[in-house]
Structure 1
Amino acid sequence: MDFPGYEALPRGRHHLTREQVVASQRERLLQGIIEVVAEKGYVHTSVADVLKRARISRETFYEHFSDKQACFLTAFEEGAALLLEVAAKSAGSTEVPVLERFELILSAYLNGLASDPARARTFLFEVYAAGPAAAARRFEIQRRFVELVNGVLLEDERWHLLPDPEFACRMVVGGVAALVTGKVAEGDLAGLPALQAPIMALVRQLIAR
């Protein structure tokens, strides 16, 4: 079966540099494991499955990664970091009201996941099957997201009045993560953007107290 976007590099002479070849191989392996894990689950995904999807030789795979978990963790870290970067950039100028900035971050997060079902399922659901190392890295990404959100919300004096603003932010971000993971587990990716309204209503209530 052919998979679009996984064209093998041309045999023989070509105009690509060694660095370009290596980068192409690595990107195809990372995308390959994301897609296969989303389809088959982490436990049932083998290195052979990734090789077939990425059209990469086994020898080349081990030039990039020591094993399946190393490949998966790299894909998770880079994908999560990119989503975090997009969310941070979406916050816009500090001249924008705080709650609007938070809503922009939330919208970028929810819509980003909804638009990429393979990454959403792999990074939010299957990550738990990849062992303690993956769970620890997911926690670290969530901690960075808490820092981003709390940094924005702290610009509103009302957020400072909460008994423990950072704890409140951890509760909000943890709740968002749980809601999103539930939608992904149900296969309802299209329903992710609809979470925005009730989440915003809750945050407004927290600030209004």
Structure 2
Amino acid sequence: MEFNLYEQDWSKYLQLEQGQLEIRKTLPRGNSHLAPEQVLQAQKARLIEAAALCIHKNGYAATSVQDIIQQAGVSRSTFYKLFQDKEACYFYCFKKLSSLHLSVLMQAYQAHKVDARPAFEVATLAFIQQLTVNPIYVNAFFALAPYSTAAVVAELNVVKTHYVTLLAYWFAILPENIARLSLPQDVFKIVVEGVFSYLRHWIMQGQVQSQESVHHHICYVIFSTLGIHTWAAQHLAQLR
């Protein structure tokens, strides 16, 4: 039976829990049974979600600590107990999200690594679907990351380097009858930069295309750039 990507259960790769994606409107008042560290963690979750919502709406530069704490319903002193400043809050969120996405991609690839082409395709689609779990988080901490701070941009470049290394390694271990080219590292950098730019545009435009379309576009670009033209043509045919 032919492997069908779009009939797979992707939930096992989507690690963000929906219960963590809704802003906590209230915290227990008075003498609750929660330990102080539990209350602090709940407040941290509210601040992160509030930061995501504010940055999603207004951008990083136009969002202040006051905006975040007002949205979260948390005191200024609590914010500074958890984060040094707005940049530290944003950097924490960016690191969490980027680590999650990398983990999702690697888990998906490993689950299908015995068959080269599905492994590439599954990893790509799982990553794309992860981006749709919570559009507010992804816009705030992925699409808008290049427009935030120098520290985040530097970390974003580290993240891209991880993807370049993975792509180059996965290409290198393909059978010789599939991968006949010897490619310099810059080719893999161009692919990753292009995919990231395309996904940022897709997210910032409100994800007007279907996940399936985006997946075929990306796979076509990856496979055609790497010289695997048979695989690329099959994705191009799905777009016609």
Please confirm whether the aligned pair reaches a TM-score higher than 0.5, indicating the same fold. yes
Q: Does 1:180 align with 2:199?
A: yes
Q: 1:93 to 1:115 in 2, by over 3 A?
A: closer
Residue 228 of structure 2: aligned partner: 208
Q: Aligned residues, how many?
A: 207
RMSD, aligned CA? 2.3
Q: Does 1:52 align with 2:43?
A: no
Which of 119, 122, 130 pairs up with 2:148? 130
**TM alignment of 1:39-188, pairs within 5 A:** 39-93=57-111, 95-158=113-176, 161-164=180-183, 166-188=185-207
CA–CA distance in 2 between the matches of 1:78 and 1:103? Answer: 24
3-state SS of 1:91 partner: helix
The amino acid that maps onto 1:41 is: G
Q: What TM-score results when the alignment is normalised by the length of structure 1? A: 0.87
CA–CA distance in 2 between the matches of 1:118 and 1:44? Answer: 16
Query: Relative contact order (alpha carbons < 8 A, sep ≥ 6): 1 or 2 greater?
Result: 1
Displacement of 1:145 in angstroms is 2.1
Displacement of 1:192 in angstroms is 4.7
Q: How big is each residue's C-alpha offset from its partner over 1:53-97, in whole Å with a ceiling of 9 and x where there is no partner?
A: 222111100001111111111111111111111121111336531
Structure 2: tracts of 5 or more residues without a match: 1-21, 230-240
Q: 1:113 to 1:95 in 2, by over 3 A?
A: closer
Q: What TM-score results when the alignment is normalised by the length of structure 2? A: 0.77
- How much identity, in percent, do the aligned residues show? 26
3-state SS of 1:12 partner: coil
Could you list the structure 1 runs, at least 4 aligned residues long, displaced by more than 3 angstroms after superposition: 92-95, 157-161, 189-193, 202-205
Q: Does 1:8 align with 2:26?
A: yes
CA–CA distance in 2 between the matches of 1:103 and 1:163? Answer: 21
Structure 1: tracts of 5 or more residues without a match: none
The amino acid that maps onto 1:177 is: F
